[in-house]
Amino acid sequence: MNIVKTIADLRAAVARARSEGKRIGFVPTMGNLHAGHIALVKKAGQRADFVVASIFVNPLQFGPNEDLDSYPRTLAADQTKLFDAGCHLLFAPGVEEMYPHGQAQQTLVRVPGVSEGLCGASRPGHFDGVSTVVTKLFNMVLPDLAVFGQKDFQQLAVIRTMVRDLNMPVQIISEPIVRAEDGLALSSRNGYLSSEERAIAPALYRTLCEMKTALLGGQRDYAALIAQGQAQLQAAGLRVDYLEIRHAPDLQPADAAAHELVILVAAFLGKTRLLDNLLVDLATH
Ligand SMILES: Nc1ncnc2c1ncn2[C@@H]1O[C@H](COP(=O)(O)OP(=O)(O)OP(=O)(O)O)[C@@H](O)[C@H]1O
Ligand SMILES: CC(C)(CO)[C@@H](O)C(=O)[O-]
Ligand code: BAL
């Protein structure tokens, strides 16, 4: 696996692969890789001939009081995992390489609608930072396809909308959430949890599963279901940021006629903000 830190070296390596007729697959990450990221890399390897991963902790998507400085940076271990997963090229730029003119004057990509509410409401500017850096990365890598995880469900919707609205020639592929044995969605931020918090954390997925069972059983009073879920999470020791039932394809609030639902949750355990979601297809029941 080749490792490059500059855009010039990245472009040269990708151009070489393309001149050999290879299809380029891309997996953007912020590093501290776990089995969830590796599933994305393997998916890219199934759909493309040349797999590029990026590791960049993007300051533009962090709020002033968020964990930019403490976000885990584990490049050496990440390189080994990427190599083992069949990645061909790692792009690991510094902030200067990505934002040579500073962040304040950076041109932004904003995706209206789907980036508002949910994480967009709790993290103002977050999705502008994500859509901007992903646009830059797409323009640097020029991939045929890119793979994103369903764990960041709203992010995936934002990227799909951006690619559609800006006619970007990139196929977006999604991968299901990879979970620990007790159901907790794998996340780099799980590493922030104390052992007591880690023991509480599976309550998130448990609550989503119970809500899904109720929906499949015919419960249609979404407000009551959400209130019950919130109470359950609070009782377990989590502070709920949001718990919502939305129409999965466009993330609009779910009405009674919606069949493809997604239950989305963000909650704090101490200072750590965890995300999870669960798809519910009422059409098959
Ligand atoms: N458990 C998971 N299953 C599937 N995909 C995942 C999982 N965790 C992260 N991803 C995906 O990996 C890509 C990179 O995400 P990122 O580097 O932010 O990892 P993360 O573990 O989610 O970190 P964070 O704690 O910052 O959310 C995204 O497309 C994200 O959806
Ligand atoms: C897509 C991404 C790599 C952009 O910084 C990030 O938001 C993430 O890791 O999901
Ligand atoms: N996985 C999304 C990146 C972030 O939380 O900033």
Same-domain check for residues 162 and 199: no
Residue numbers of the domain that contains 203: 188-278
Query: Is the separation of the CB atoms in 68 and 27 below 8 Å?
Result: no
Q: Is 152 in the pocket of ligand 3 (CB under 6 A)?
A: yes
Q: 91: which strand partners?
A: 4, 54
Query: Is the separation of the CB atoms in 274 and 243 below 8 Å?
Result: no
Q: Is 175 in the pocket of ligand 3 (CB under 6 A)?
A: no
Q: What is the DSSP letter of 66?
A: S
Which residues have a catalytic role annotated? 37
Same-domain check for residues 17 and 78: yes
35 is in an annotated binding site: yes
In a domain, 155, yes or no: yes
In a domain, 42, yes or no: yes
* Number of compact structural domains in the chain: 2
The ligand with the least distance to the CA atom of 158 is 2
pLDDT digits (tens, 9 = 90+) for 167-209: 999 999 999 999 999 999 999 999 999 999 999 999 999 999 9
Degrees (nearest 5) of the Cα angle 94, 98, 104? 115
pLDDT digits (tens, 9 = 90+) for 198-227: 999 999 999 999 999 999 999 999 999 999
Q: Is the ipTM of this complex over 0.90?
A: yes
Same-domain check for residues 14 and 123: yes
Q: What is the pLDDT of residue 153?
A: 98
Phi-psi region of 62 (alpha: psi -120 to 50; beta: other; left: phi over 0): beta
Sequence-distant (≥ 6) Cβ neighbours of residue 248 within 8 angstroms = 260, 261, 262, 279
Pick from 129, 144, 175: which residue ends a domain? Answer: 175
Which of 74, 89, 92 minimizes the C-alpha distance to 34? 74
Angle between helix 7-19 and 126-141 (nearest 10): 50
Same-domain check for residues 228 and 134: no
Pick from 126, 147, 175: which residue ends a domain? Answer: 175
Same-domain check for residues 119 and 235: no
Please give all residues whose beta carbon lies within 6 A of any atom in ligand 1, as ranges. Answer: 29-30, 36-37, 39-40, 148-149, 151-152, 175, 177-178, 185-189
pTM over 0.80: yes
